[in-house]
Chains A and B, each alone.
Chain A
């Protein structure tokens, strides 16, 4: 019985949050990795693009809610999501047109583009603050739990509770759908294939008559959509604050690099590697250890490897280890 209780505790505090967080990071990292693969720079403004898409989604959610429009047990934000994506796409294409295209034509050094993306980050951050302010915004509605701790205890009779928030399940399901659609697009459609060709070898792709502007535009559209979905899922699961998205930049980049920059499959793997390491290292294992060990050996402390505030250190540590031992990432990424 204790072993089952221990497993339930692990599932409740490590497995489920890790899956949800990992899906969010994977979606974020996919966006970063696509920009890197096609436009060949690290986009520092990605976190703020997530925040922008989410902001628009939140505005539409509030509008729908005020009209009494709801999505049953699912959060209304899902109805508003397409509008958020649309807003983010407009912003991404507009930014590319006014800012990035100039440097692309000039064939500027990638590091200049990174600095440019820093400027874009400031502006997007400013816009988000203009629109929605800096306060915590809660926009989740619909049913809160698929399995609540109380129901679980009644069903199973176990001492250890297990709760599955609907946002967590939703996150994983949506992430799977989005990723499946993305891979279908990249591998099966003509545009997707031209994107991969462009990413592999730009000159060869140009020679075979691929229109670079079109590839770039499609990339931004996909990236904006991915960023918005990731941002909305994160916001539903936790809460929306303008600057948390900026802080997500580090784990997202860590995921993309660990998986291999420019490699979509790697970005997903990286997202889960980072998420699960963060959760396992910062989880207090006391409960699990108490279940597993005989009573006399029960630990006094929390059995926590690192305090939760050091979760940055975890993503960073993994990043450094991977960079030192496998510089192109777990899956072979691009190396310039």
Chain B
């Protein structure tokens, strides 16, 4: 009972924070429901990421610091599913790119096969090297011209293959429901990447897994930044269709304007709030569904087995559990959840901007959420995500308020005042680190501990 009380009170506290943000302009609050809902939507997405990490860390004790990579792959899925195919793109080099990639995969497969089936010795090493080198050059020979051909087509607007939103390209934005399909696809893409990483790096020590996942994340983002045929690289993809109506359309709908007026709202505010609310409902539905699944998993025999493996691998292995396979399984599941969240994030942004993927924001911040909320507890992760995301957004106004208060008597051009104003912008990282350390030191089990 006390446990539930505590959780309920904490969630109520978070709710109050969001309501204050929407209603009052006192202290750091903006008094704008738009801002409040904006923070809430990102908090919902962060909560899904935190659930994914909690699966891996809280249930199984796997140390994944490559969340950013899986999130980015989810974002890529949104583009691949919901954008229209670029005119002429596939005809120019689609087949070449696909056969090139298949060639690359075949090379790796043959090399691994040779490694497994040839007698150990120098011949095997040389054969593998030969396969890899020849395969690499064949792959480049097929792949490169195809890529060049695709990227040469209207590079200013497309230059990529585009996505799978077939139908009339002129009206692709009207088929926003396709974007919803990209969410599970994002999960599948991330799961595929997690399978490869897990195959190579699980079973190694925890530190090694950490470095390996960190490397994979950097590589995923590097691919998004560089493979223009896929994601237009740093030129970004904009105008991803939305599963919710556009504000402009709403403002031009008389019935909507009328309804807004009956609430005493002007059409612009009403439309933006309405759109954010719709997104919020969609995200909350996904979050609740995943939360429900995670809770079911936690309480099932499978969940108990996972925790048994986490707490004592040797004993679990002695009981006949295949530790490596179970680790691989939950690693894939957790990464898939992060991929879904990544796709959702790209959906609400309506654009894919590979340059914005930063490990501090997308990997380590999610870790702060999970640790603060309470690792091993799904509700804890959700709570941690809400709190930390709220804080992440509000630390800057808080910092400005703090620097204003500290330098209240000083003139506007005083160097100390200017310095403090600058410093406020960098408060975020410092606060997050401090929060993480304080929680780990004084309440290592988090706000809502594992039962």
Contacts and interface: CB of A to CB of B under 8 A. Distances in A.
A319 B207 contact: no
Give chain A's interface residue range (CB within 8 Å of chain B). Answer: 35 or more
B290 interface: no
Contacts of A319: 211-212, 215
Given A114-B207, A126-B428, A324 B200 contact: yes
A213 interface: no
B222 A313 contact: yes
Interface stretch (A62-70, A115-123, A223-231): A115-123
Interface string B411-451: 00000000000110011111111101100110010000000
Q: Is the interface of B mostly helix, strand, loop or mixed?
A: helix
A120 B211 contact: no
B204 A323 contact: yes
Interface in A1-21: none
Interface in A225-273: 246, 249-250, 253-254, 257, 261
Interface class of chain A by DSSP:
helix
A270 B441 CA distance: 35
A323 B226 contact: no
A199 B371 CA distance: 30
Contact of B225 (A99, A129, A134, A309): A309
Given A116-B440, A312-B215, A320 B426 contact: no
Contacts of A192: none
Interface residues of B, number: 44
Given A121-B364, A323-B201, A130 B430 contact: yes
Interface string B124-142: 0000000000001000000
A122 B432 contact: yes
A312 B210 contact: no
Contacts of B222: 309-310, 312-313
A250 B426 contact: no
A316 interface: yes
A122 B429 contact: yes
Contact of A320 (B200, B371, B427, B432): B200
A249 B360 CA distance: 13
A258 B437 CA distance: 30
Contacts of A315: 215
Contact of A123 (B204, B208, B430, B440): B430
A307 B233 CA distance: 13
A99 B441 CA distance: 8
A127 B427 CA distance: 9
A133 B226 CA distance: 28
A335 interface: yes
Nearest to A36: B207
B205 interface: yes
A112 interface: yes
Interface string B343-371: 00000000000000001100010011001
Contacts of A335: 205
Interface string B212-227: 1011101100100110
Nearest to B226: A309
Contacts of A310: 219, 222, 226
Contacts of A42: 207, 210-211
Contact of B206 (A111, A130, A316, A327): A111
A120 B222 CA distance: 26
B218 A123 contact: no
Nearest to B136: A305
B174 interface: no
A110 interface: yes
A294 interface: no
A112 B440 contact: yes
B215 A127 contact: no
B441 A126 contact: no
Contacts of B295: none
- Looking at B61, B371, B427, B437, the one whose CB has the most chain A CB atoms below 10 A away is B437
B348 to A, nearest CB: 26
B63 interface: yes
A71 interface: no
B63 A114 contact: yes
Given A122-B360, A122-B364, A124-B433, 9 more contacts: A99-B437, A110-B206, A110-B207, A115-B367, A116-B437, A119-B434, A122-B433, A125-B433, A320-B215
Closest 9 CB pairs of A and B: A122-B433, A126-B430, A316-B215, A123-B433, A119-B436, A129-B426, A126-B429, A119-B437, A312-B218
7 contacts: A42-B210, A102-B441, A115-B440, A119-B437, A126-B427, A126-B428, A316-B215
